[in-house]
Amino acid sequence: MNKLFQGTYTAIITPFTQNNVIDWSAFEKLIDHQIAGGVEGIVFVGTTGESPTLSHSEHEEILRWSIKAVGGRCKVIHGTGSNNTRESIGFARVAADSGADGHLVINPYYNKPTAEGLYLHFKAIADSSDLPVIIYNIQGRTAINLETDTLLRLAEHPNIVGVKEASGNIGQMMDVIRRVPEDFCVLVGDDALTLPFMACGGDGLISVVSNCLPGPTSEMVRKCLSGDWGTARTSFYQILDVMHVTMLESNPIPVKAIMAELGFCQKNIRLPLTQPAQQTMQAVGKAVDTIRQLADYEV
List pLDDT tens digits, range 217-264.
999 999 999 999 999 999 999 999 999 999 999 999 999 999 999 999
Residue 16 DSSP class: B
Nearest one of 42, 9, 17, 34 to 260, comparing CA atoms: 17
Using CB atoms within 10 A of its CB, is residue 88 exposed (0-12), middle (13-18) or buried (19+)?
buried
Opening angle at CA 51, ends 49 and 57, nearest 5 = 115
Amino acid occupying residue 46: G
* Cα dist from 30 to 214, 224, 251, whole Å: 10, 25, 17
User: Under 8 Å CB-to-CB from 145, ≥6 apart: which residues?
Assistant: 107, 137, 139, 167, 172
Domain ranges in the chain are: 7-238
Each residue's pLDDT expressed in tens, for the chain with a length of 299 residues: 589 999 999 999 999 999 999 999 999 999 999 999 999 999 999 999 999 999 999 999 999 999 999 999 999 999 999 999 999 999 999 999 999 999 999 999 989 999 999 999 999 999 999 999 999 998 888 878 999 999 999 999 999 999 999 988 889 999 999 999 999 999 999 999 999 999 999 999 999 999 999 999 999 999 999 999 999 999 999 999 999 999 999 999 999 999 999 999 999 999 999 999 999 999 999 999 999 999 866 54
* Cα dist from 288 to 124, 260, 296, whole Å: 43, 10, 12
Radius of gyration of the chain (CA): 18
pLDDT of residue 298: 52
Query: What average pLDDT is seen over the chain?
Result: 95
- The CA distance from 24 to 22, in Å, is 6
Class of domain 7-238: alpha beta
Angle between helices 229-245 and 253-261 (to 10 degrees): 100
Residues forming the active site: 136, 164
**pTM for the full predicted model:** 0.96
Using CB atoms within 10 A of its CB, is residue 64 exposed (0-12), middle (13-18) or buried (19+)?
middle
* Cα dist from 56 to 84, 88, 134, whole Å: 13, 11, 21
pLDDT of residue 296: 65
- The CA distance from 122 to 106, in Å, is 9
